[in-house]
Amino acid sequence: DRSGPIVFGWIVAGHQIGAAAAAAFGGTMRELQGNYELAFLIAGMTAIAAACISLLINTSKPAFDPEPQAA
């Protein structure tokens, strides 16, 4: 597929933005509360929610009916 590299690039970019936000959030929680307990709890709940949402991904392949080739 031609758009594969573009999609992969956006996935990686989104991952990096999420990683930066999580690090900043963890640091903020440490400064405000003195520990990382709430940050780890929220990260765990987010991971569980993402795992549940990923179960909704449709894995069946769409029917592909190409035009017949001229001989």
Res 61: pLDDT: 76
Res 69: pLDDT: 67
CA distance 55 to 53: 5
CA distance 38 to 17: 20
DSSP alpha helix (H) spans, the chain: 4-33, 37-54
pTM: 0.65
Instruction: Give pLDDT tens digits along the chain (71 positions).
Output: 788 899 999 999 999 999 999 999 999 999 999 999 999 999 999 999 999 999 998 888 776 666 766 66
